[in-house]
Chain A
Amino acid sequence: MKLSVLNFRKKVMKLPNNNILNISNLVKYFYTRQGTVRAVDGVSFAIGERETFGLVGESGSGKSTVAYTVVGAYNPTEGRILYKGRDISRESRKRPQSLKKEIQIVFQDPGSSLNPARTISQILELPLKVHAVVKDPKERMNKIAELLDMVQLPSDYLYKYPTMIGGGEKQMVGIARALATNPSFVVLDEPTSALDVSIQAKIINMLIKFQKEFGLAYLFITHDLSLMRNIADRVAIMYLGKICEIAPTSEFFKTPLHPYTQMLLSSIPVITDEEEKLKPKKIISKGEIPSPVNIPSGCSFHLRCPRKIPICSKDDPIMVNVKEGHCVRCHLFTR
């Protein structure tokens, strides 16, 4: 068993060009009065430069926690985060200032990620000032106007307050803020979940354009699988703190292996008959998602799994490499 883990790790390291981010065995527990919340329970993956890595999962899966730990909002309980080869497995307060320039985050809720008491120009000025990207104040104003232009917002938004602009536009300001310091790696935590479809399309297309233009790597988190298909290069699916399956996008949607992946894919609401045919056979999900305080023994998914075998309730499966780049963590495949 240990051998296959090693093999997996080696294979992960070999993936796309240089890996800008390497996560190995990341663990994050929160200790609360109700018990220990095992939000992230041993997650490993790597992201290459200029790659969009998608992280998908339902509530309680730990995907947001992974994102926030990578960015430095939390201190990892265990495990290592390597950025361009350097170990950065600490909170952002203990990280060097230069790192904060390179790793940025776009939050999920545009409403609360912008300070309602500050104008747009003040919000965009902060990263520029902190990292001394532009030293001269007048030049800074120009750069801010440039940033607004880049996200296609009119320049008289500079002196508006966030409450005066729409949700989609707030999110665009959030993206402009993230890109202000010329980062190399951007974490996007459900950036469009709170927005309408037409605005979502605009923002996603903009993000793709920026990725090509500035050579960015994205860690893209969402629960919307259809969206994931159109933006990610590789996808990982999480359940209760662990990754169930990682695969390149087309593989992931064509031949999903893990029963949870299949369950999720079969419940996506689609628009056309064509898409309907592409979905795996309908698996009716049973039961509720357990709370991360009370994770079932053995494989955490076994209570809801339609294909479980006796070993599933006893042992936790290990991630194995089924094909080049395609790994699953399920007893059905560890033979």
Chain B
Amino acid sequence: MRENINESKKKLKMWENTRRNWYNYSRNPLSIIGLLVICIIILVTVFAPYVSPHPKSADKFIDFDEANRPPSSIHICGTDQYGRDVLTRIFFGYRYSLIMGIVVLAIVTPLGVLLGLTAGYFKDSWIETIIMRITDIFVAVPPLILALAVCSVLTPGLFHAMMAVCLMWWPWYTRMVYGISSSLKGEFFVQAAELTGASNLHILLREILPNCMAPILTKMSLDMGWVILIGASLSFVGLGVQPPTPDLGSMVAEGCKYLPDQWWISVFPAIAIMLVVLGFNLVGDGVRDMFGA
């Protein structure tokens, strides 16, 4: 009986928390717009084969009769030099952008955060020195150059591009969490846990980590946009996704040759990149507001 009451109280509290978080998030109308944009993009991406006007364009497709047509009611964003529908290719191109964002963050965040927590908690010990000096080395290399170097050594492709971006991204999480962890180390509640006899793992994951969640989630939201942009930059120079697979960066690159006459081949993919990055940035701002920063 008592357990049931407690369970329902818990659910009530969680619902209250969700409502309050939404309230804080939605104070800024731009955050809502960002969220809307991202939701639309995600839907479009997931259901790309069904929503796109000319699904065949996403694959090897050549139709020189339709090539280089300006935007019209049939081809809303026009066609490219091979006759492929630009809008369809944008929808499918978003897939690779989002995949890159999700995979990179899924690898980088746990790794970076764990290292940061450990380094901060064991401040002034050899553990911290090793971790932070390695972090310093990676931070010192200009990020894009590192990515380019890795990609040019290995065969260009989505997988290697993701690896390269991971390599240059993790140190920032480590640094951020290191700062918070080392400052929380001296707090009384951490001491209380230590004195009770909690294990180090518990202290790192259950005492210190929850206090870092706000900046971590904010950073992740903002980073999605950045990772997508870096991914597009790599593709732009030919080190990412290879043709004929549709990818926003490579579409912009290919379309450059046809500027300014067939402007739609480059411009629409560029706008698409801008939309997704802007969307994530606005969501990131909203997340920051939500956590009351």
Contact = CB atoms under 8 A, between A and B. Distances in A.
A–B interface present (Cβ within 8 A): yes
Interface of A: 71-73, 92-93, 97, 100-101, 104-105, 107, 109, 112-119, 122, 126-127, 130-131, 138, 141-142, 145, 155-156, 158-160, 177, 181
A71 to B, nearest CB: 6
B207 A115 contact: yes
Nearest to A107: B188
25 contacts: A72-B195, A73-B191, A73-B194, A92-B195, A97-B197, A105-B192, A109-B188, A112-B188, A112-B189, A113-B192, A114-B189, A115-B210, A115-B211, A118-B207, A118-B210, A126-B196, A126-B198, A130-B196, A130-B197, A142-B2, A155-B5, A155-B6, A156-B9, A159-B9, A159-B14
A67 B6 CA distance: 37
A211 B192 CA distance: 21
Given A141-B3, A156-B9, A115 B196 contact: no
B195 A158 contact: no
Interface of B: 2-3, 5-6, 9-10, 13-14, 187-198, 202, 206-207, 210-211, 213
A113 B211 contact: no
A115 B189 contact: yes
Most chain A CB atoms below 10 A, which of B14, B189, B190, B202: B189
A158 B193 contact: no
A126 B193 CA distance: 8
Contacts of B206: 118, 122
Given A117-B213, A141-B6, A130 B189 contact: no
Given A113-B189, A118-B206, A159-B13, A71 B197 contact: no
Contact of A158 (B9, B196, B210, B211): B9
A100 B9 contact: no
A100 B207 CA distance: 19
Given A112-B187, A115-B190, A130-B198, 16 more contacts: A100-B195, A100-B196, A101-B197, A104-B195, A113-B188, A113-B189, A127-B196, A142-B2, A145-B6, A155-B5, A155-B9, A158-B6, A158-B9, A158-B10, A159-B13, A160-B13
B41 to A, nearest CB: 32
Most chain A CB atoms below 10 A, which of B2, B14, B192: B192
Nearest to A117: B210
B195 A105 contact: yes
A126 B210 CA distance: 15
Nearest to B196: A127
A177 to B, nearest CB: 7
B211 A117 contact: yes
Nearest to B7: A141
B188 A159 contact: no
A62 B195 CA distance: 20
Contacts of B202: 126, 130
A138 to B, nearest CB: 6
Contacts of B187: 112
Contacts of B196: 100, 104, 126-127, 130-131, 181
A71 B195 contact: yes
A115 B196 CA distance: 14
Given A115-B210, A156-B9, A159-B13, A131 B197 contact: yes
Given A97-B197, A160-B13, A138 B189 contact: no
Most chain B CB atoms below 10 A, which of A105, A126, A131, A141: A126
The 7 closest A-B pairs by CB, nearest first: A117-B210, A159-B13, A113-B188, A100-B197, A115-B189, A117-B211, A112-B188
